[in-house]
């Protein structure tokens, strides 16, 4: 029987993917990074493993999946074993970390990608992709949630063909661009002297707003780090009901419901 391994460090996407995989009659072993052990405590069958120093045992597997794993698979592993990555981005655009944040800023396509893993990051042959639309009211968090839904849909659609080796791939035509963790850290510091438009400022702040995380910040006159997070109301949810008494309820745009000081 085919031996399969899965690495994940994201509890939310893992729960959805595990629900799909557990219905299949396959021998599947699950792993996470050592530092993610605590978040997976309810799943006692998930074993912490440092893939860089303990990859040898994985070479005996037939298929491997990276489902939001923080670890980079060694070259020898992706060369010997068919490894597939479920990536929250639309390759080759904004490959690397937090693609949704960078896409809000640089306007490059965003979505979900299922691809073969190779020696580079997010650069392997594409099995399938789904593009997700960025709305003017999307923050990093709201866009990320839409991407997660697209990833689950993508995985569910393709898993049987992957297990049966009945799928085609397409090669990337360009290398696209890549963003590292350092790039994101640099992005988070607000340059108070920079001149930009209000649209650029809005895009910047919503790209870094991902509750409950603190991302965007500036340094005040006293040397304190001050975090900034933007809250945007989806216009589809802007209609609230106002009780006028006598059983009557009137729909009004929510700004009119705010009390004056």
CA-to-CA separations, 196 to 100, 200, 201, 202, 223, in angstroms, rounded: 21, 6, 7, 10, 24
Q: Mark whether 93 is an active-site residue.
A: no
Supply the Cα-derived Rg of the chain in whole angstroms.
Answer: 22
Q: Can you give 10-71 as a three-state secondary structure string?
A: CHHHHHHHHHHHCCCCCEEEEEECHHHCHHHCCCCCCEECCCCCCCHHHHHCCEEEEECCCC
DSSP annotation of 225 reads E
**Catalytic option among 87, 93, 115, 210:** 87
At CB < 8 A and 24+ separation, what contacts does 128-133 make? 128/154, 128/157, 128/158, 129/90, 129/91, 129/154, 130/154, 131/90, 132/90
Q: Which strand (E) or helix (H) includes residue 206? A: helix 198-207
Active site residues: 87
């Amino acid at each position: 029987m085919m031996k399969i391994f899965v690495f994940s460090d994201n509890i939310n996407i893992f729960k959805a993917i595990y629900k799909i995989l557990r219905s299949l009659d396959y021998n599947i072993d699950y792993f996470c990074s050592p530092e993610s052990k605590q978040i997976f405590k309810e799943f006692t069958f998930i074993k912490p493993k440092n893939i860089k120093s303990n990859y040898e045992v994985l070479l005996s597997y037939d298929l491997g999946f990276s489902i939001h794993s923080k670890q980079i698979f060694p070259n020898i592993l992706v060369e010997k074993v068919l490894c597939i990555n479920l990536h929250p981005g639309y390759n080759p655009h904004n490959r690397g970390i937090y693609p949704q944040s960078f896409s809000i800023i640089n306007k490059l396509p965003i979505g979900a990608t299922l691809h073969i893993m190779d020696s580079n990051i997010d650069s392997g042959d594409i099995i399938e992709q789904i593009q997700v639309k960025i709305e003017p009211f999307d923050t990093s968090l709201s866009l990320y949630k839409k991407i997660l839904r697209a990833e689950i849909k993508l995985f569910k659609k393709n898993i049987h063909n992957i297990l049966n080796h009945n799928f085609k791939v397409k090669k990337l035509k360009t290398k696209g661009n890549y963003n590292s963790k350092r790039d994101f850290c640099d992005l988070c510091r607000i340059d108070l002297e920079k001149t930009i438009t209000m649209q650029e400022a809005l895009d910047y702040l919503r790209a870094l707003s991902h509750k409950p995380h603190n991302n965007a910040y500036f340094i005040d006159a006293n040397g304190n780090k001050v975090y900034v997070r933007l809250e945007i109301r989806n216009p589809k949810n802007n209609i609230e009901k106002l009780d006028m008494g006598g059983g009557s309820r009137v729909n009004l745009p929510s700004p009119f419901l705010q009390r004056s000081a």
